[in-house]
Chains A and B, each alone.
Chain A
């Protein structure tokens, strides 16, 4: 193995380096100076994110177990940026008494999970794929139970680990069928034929992955785990974990499962309608903002499937672009939720009554984030949704498109309920003025810049589209 071959894996190396630095700091730093770990972690993560944009080459190493190309690198970069924002948003929470001395654990587990994400995206063999998937999931289960003295957090941890063990088992069952049909687990010589065994194998495999993306009917764990986990972990689950599963789903469907496209199109058609509609309808009734965002993120997953169904480069580009936009929009919303939760412990939509009068900037951020999620111009979410719709229209599924656009109206309704609480409703006891934290400010600024700029700056989408065409 040559030096240049090793460099192909530089995203993973950088993250492993970050993990080692964090371990050494944890050993070498005294309890009073733990705050510095936060600064170091954020700075290094920022450096890694920027470093990731260094032009990338395509290549395979480990005999085809590991594949990389510019599109995969872009996916990793998008998720790295999301993790950076989450790191920044966790400063207040981790700085609290009782959390401080366990700060390194949080970063370390998050970075390990991110390494899993990277290997998952770059996998060239189903073994690698499975290792990546488990490495992605298990640290998050620990993180979900991070606030160990709160029963809800412990409950979220156990729910997450049980349901993901279950989904992994289903996924492995599907894989074993596929292996039985083909006799090979390398992606390169994976030629599926249209037989009952492969279709069954695909269905099981897809169900396992659908757990991660929380596609209906595999979404039942989502709301409880999102509600119980610490907010930063929730945002990781809803953005990074879901985003990576979407990426890998797109990659696999468009390459390995290309031969059975009619089958997965039919499966996705049904699940997309269910996911959008059920996610939206359940979101309407939620009072707790974390549950609310959980159902909204289920609905968004349904929209993402619209791009996947397309099956061509436009569909892939629209999915990647939408996830990029979704990272910024959702993290802006979670950032505000986190800021309010840490300052007051309030999480209900009613608690946000009169929020604009006391915290105008935070509520404007929240409004932009929700409008972007709802797909209102000129915010990035509008472009993201529109391109997904374009993909559906190109594949000719106009009925599906009609159902999807009507779903955006339902979604707008519940997003407006939060806007209404913040801007219109009056309250005797509004959330007090929140003293802002520097890192949180930077994170929200990054997210809002993304929301405002991505749509207008068309080269982003054009670049993604080019990458997908050559994929």
Chain B
């Protein structure tokens, strides 16, 4: 998410917060939760005092049971971190400008994409210009050349620049087909969908798919097909066997009255229940959705309702840029961010049980503790869930501090 969306969201967020502050609201949220501080840990990123934020830049590597995070000063320095749950250690592997031997004119502002892993344990991500320099300076000497696809080998520490997507464009998110190694990308600000075969250095541009806003999230199904949304919040599927885009006929569910600015932003996070063949989605219009992908065509879409049932506020208001699924089959997400909170100055950790449809607030945090959190479907082999957290530093303008959130709904992780 860039600051443009932050500014645009703020007015709507204030409305939501105001409505939620009405008398009686709190009782609507009264829930009993067994979750305690022992279930949650905040883990800092060492050796990077200027660290400002994390974005969608987090992912899980099953081959090594590690979590990888890209941390940025939101200007020109991006640290690549690895968290090893077995050692309970967070390590800075280096800064990608140095690791990839980028020239000065190849500067990058952040990793916005998720971090995806291939079966051999390599991880992939893409880079982003970060801000206005990228979008406006272009061919100017201070301009942005374009975002890169990158591959990191944790065994050797080698970071390989796989090449640029499109000139002047960031690559906001990527996905991988683990069977073929094909990478998918979405560019910013023109929202071009890219299909990239690193083995052949073959990059294909399938064109622009969005309107004024670039939806940030790509996701794949078990066949390796990749999904995005168009400006009507319809699923767009890259069907790999036919090498073509397939557009859903209907838009994803949305609350009546959802503003167009929410619709064009589409999906903000996902989590996969692979055993059941379900991909859970959350939209910018605060809908939870169960998507049942099919190998060919678009599968069934099931509306699970809002991310939180306040009964008081506009249902499309809450902002949820993250989603995880526990080994218990329940969904976990943190509501709040970009000035948009369902409780005044608080983010809330919510549990959703697909079996019962019950949504429970497990924890509340002041926004000085968690301002917002990102990350989709990050769970280690012990069932720990991870979010890329960020806390705004009060009185310091836009300054913020990133940290990793580790959460296990069923275990004391501080033992």
**A and B from one assembly?**
no
Chain B interface residues (CB < 8 Å from chain A):
none
Chain A interface residues (CB < 8 Å from chain B):
none
